[in-house]
Structure 1
């Protein structure tokens, strides 16, 4: 199953030096894309680029630390050239620590990488896709984006990381709602973090296989290990129900100030 169109197009993959990013780059090369490879380590990117070139793809190496403002601007400039038809926002790190102990620089870098970089690169690549009425944006998030109500144990301390990944999930859903007939496909991939939950994590190639299949099937939220997609519909349905039920000008009874008699005021 091919990821998208058969003619050669250009894909930009962040976090491309290993894991899901490297696997996605290899899959896109197999499907006929030229690649722009973004990650911090040039040596790993050059090694991957060499392998992809043997498959007939052009592989452009663009070393960058997306938490660095200058490097992000460099990649943003490349993404805004207008030729990117497939964008994979995959770069990330976890920084698991109790929030009260989390170094402020780590917290800032988490937000720069998962929120600012995803937003700016998507904004840079999108106009070209809209002009062509064709394109795909895959934002790799985490199952932990759904974990806000769960206890810290046995899950890792994750307030900033999970919050940033939850931004990616909501951002992708809301943007898809803005582009229903644009020809641009969006997807949020919710995978398990291999760095802390390796026993439960899927192999990167399998995550990519699921993501590509989900794009073909029109799934906005891809959870590679989830057998019952109806659970996602239940989740989004519950969100819609809360929005609809709460969209009224009256204060909920439980929040109304009690009268002097002890009864709720009208």
Structure 2
């Protein structure tokens, strides 16, 4: 029996590697990351476990790296895409080097869209497939102030875009055999937080995040928040708040607070 092929980005360590190890009994792999040496080490480990493993070194913060992976996905033989690669880049916006802004947004937001778009034709032709994007709990943090959340303007914006993208895509694909899920972990014990900005204390293992995601897929979850106990109630409240803003904002007349005379 042919084993499904899973393409995993950010596979050289952390959550990406954890997905690969958990899926190894049942899947073969295309492993994507910047660090070729680590990819080869993981591929050798997976082969010893009985999986076929192809390595594809690529930097998804660059257009060239994205093109390498979208070219591979265009073959149409990947029914499981786990778009996990990302970087923290936590810092106040004023402290972010303008030269890094494009790289940060490309990796944390655009790469997900480009890879999913490349994978979709093959999945739609087969009427079967699974798309997982890895975002962050900080996607929901824009209204939070105080010392606890890290300085995160660009990061939170990119991850919120990934959440919105994956949720909306799920509605577009509702009548197909393709499943979608966006994963929103809190702090995780990985190398992820190295780089610009502050270090965030870790609380959950990468394996726990990957396990929650794969279990959530079996449960039919389109949003997976690994540490959230009463997820259904919280997401129902989020949907109700979104609906209230949308329905209330569709009025053709101004809200009463905007009807006062303009200041002179």
Fold shared, TM-score > 0.5 on shorter chain: yes
2:239, 2:20 → 1: CA distance?
30
Cα RMSD (Å) = 1.4
2:201, 2:111 → 1: CA distance?
26
Shift of 1:9: 1.1
2:146, 2:113 → 1: CA distance?
28
Q: Which runs of 4+ in 1 moved over 4 A?
A: none
Q: TM-score, normalised by structure 1?
A: 0.91
**Contact 2:32/2:58 (<8 A) preserved:** yes
In the other structure, the counterpart of 1:9 is 4
Are 2:205 and 1:203 aligned? yes
Q: Secondary structure at the match of 2:161?
A: helix
In the other structure, the counterpart of 1:47 is 41
Shift of 1:22: 0.2
In the other structure, the counterpart of 2:225 is 223
187-196 vs 16-25, which moves further? 187-196
In the other structure, the counterpart of 1:143 is 137
Q: TM-score, normalised by structure 2?
A: 0.92
After superposition, residues 147-162 of structure 1 pair within 5 angstroms as 147-151=141-145, 153-162=147-156
Q: Secondary structure at the match of 1:35?
A: strand
Shift of 1:152: 5.0
**Contact 2:187/2:204 (<8 A) preserved:** no
Q: Which runs of 5+ in 2 are unaligned?
A: 194-198
80-89 vs 249-258, which moves further? 249-258
1:216, 1:71 → 2: CA distance?
31
Rg larger in structure:
1
Aligned length: 252
Shift of 1:232: 1.4
Q: 2:243 aligns with which of 240, 243, 254?
A: 240
